[in-house]
Amino acid sequence: MRLPISPEISGTLGNNGMYISNVNISWQNVIPADALPETIIGCQEQILTRDTAPEGMVIPCAGELASGGTFLGGQLVDNEFQLTTVRRDTTPPLLALVSPAQPQVSVAEGSALLLEAVAQDAYPVTIGWDLDEDGALDAPNPTSVTIPGLQGITSPCFIVRAVDEAGNVSQIEVTVNIINLPPTIEGWVVPTTVHFGGAVQLVATATDPGGDPLTARVNWGDGQLEAVVVKPDGSIQTAHTYAGSGAFPVTLILSDDERLTVSDSKNVLIYSPVETINRDLIPGTLNMVNQGILNQGQADSLVVKLQGAVTALANDRPAAPQKLEAYLNEYVAVVPNGSLTPCFLMATDELNGLLPP
C-alpha cells in the first residue's frame, strides 16, 4: 500500500495556470490507521516568492515508513514520492515607446501620428492600443498604429498595453497636444481697377489644416465690414459697390472655431467718372473709326459730347448728367448692336448711373 501524498497550492492564479503572486505550497498526507507508526520525511510547507523559469519549478515530496517498510495485512507498506510543478510570473513586461519618443508630444493639427512600442518579457507578450480611452483595445495586435488627421481642441490620450502569458500588464499613456494652425486663404482675387459705379467682385478659397469650421469677413476699406459665408467646399464669393472713387484696401479675414485668424489685403482703384471717360470712352470711341464701326465725323461728335461731360464733371456742374445723356443717346443711334468690346460696354453702362432717373 502507498501513502497518498497530494500537494496543496494557493495563490493568485493568472492565465495559463501561472501564478501572479507569492505561492504557498503544502502537502496533504492521508495515512491509513493500520499503517501506524509512520513518519513523513521532507514535504515542508514553503512559500515561493520569486518568479520561475518558463518551464516552472519542480517541488518534490517523499514519504516513508519510519521502519523502512512493513507488512500490513499481508501487503508491503512502501515509500511514496510525489512531484509538483509550479509556474510563477509576477513581473510585468518591460514596455517602451518607439514613436513618439516621449509620452507627451505636440502635433500640428491635420498631421498624422505614428504610435509604436516594443516590449520584453520572459514569456510571450501581446501589445495592443486603446485609442479612445474606453479600456478596450481598438488595435489589439499590432505593435504600431497610425492616427491620421489629428484635430480638435482637446488633448487625446492613447494607451499602449502589453500583456504577458500570465496576464501581467504594463501600459503607457501617450498624451497628444494638438497645435491649432491658422486657416489659409487661397486663390483670392479682386480686380485692381474698377470703373466708377461698378461692382468689385471678390472670390477666394478658404482651407483649414484640421478641417475646422471657418467664418469670413471682408473689410472693404470704406468703413464697410461684411460677414461672408464660407461654403462647404471652402469657396467665398461676394461683391461691393463703392460710393466714391479712389484707392481702397480690401482685407479678407478668416477665423476658425478657435478664433485663430489670418488676413490678407489687396488694393482696389475705383476710377472717377472723369477717369472712366478719359481712359476708356474717348479712346474707345476714336478706335471705332479704325474698326470701321464709326466714321470720323460720328466719332468726333461723340468725343465732343464726352469732353463736355468731363468739363462739367470736373467743375461739379449740374449740366454733366445732361451732357452724358446726350452722348448716350447719340451713341445708341449710330453704333450698331454688338459692335462694342466688353470693356467699352461696361464703361458705358456704368455711366448710366450718373444720369437722373
Highest mean pLDDT among 34-43, 238-247, 324-333: 238-247
Q: Which of 11-25, 82-96, 148-162 has the lowest mean pLDDT?
A: 148-162
Confidence of residue 352 (pLDDT cuts 50, 70, 90): low
Confidence of residue 133 (pLDDT cuts 50, 70, 90): confident
Mean pLDDT rounded to a whole number for the chain:
83
Confidence of residue 206 (pLDDT cuts 50, 70, 90): very high
Distance CA 261, CA 254 (A): 6
The set of cell numbers assigned to 10 is 494557493
Whether residue 347 contacts residue 284, with contact meaning beta carbons closer than 8 Å, is answered with yes
Q: Which pLDDT score, from 0 to 100, does residue 165 have? A: 92
Same topology, domains 94-179 and 184-270? Answer is yes
Is the pLDDT score of 10 beyond 70?
yes
CATH number of 184-270: 2.60.40.10
Name the residue ranges covered by the structural domains of the chain.
5-86, 94-179, 184-270, 273-354
Q: Which pLDDT score, from 0 to 100, does residue 8 have? A: 87
- Give the percent of the chain with pLDDT over 70: 82
What 3-state DSSP class applies to 143? Answer: coil
Superfamily of domain 94-179: Immunoglobulins (2.60.40.10)
Distance CA 88, CA 69 (A): 37
Q: Which pLDDT score, from 0 to 100, does residue 63 have? A: 59
Confidence of residue 1 (pLDDT cuts 50, 70, 90): very low
- Give the percent of the chain with pLDDT over 90: 43
Distance CA 81, CA 3 (A): 9
HSE, side-chain direction, 13 A CA sphere, residue 211: 7
Q: Which pLDDT score, from 0 to 100, does residue 167 have? A: 92
Q: Which pLDDT score, from 0 to 100, does residue 159 have? A: 94
Is the pLDDT score of 140 beyond 80?
no
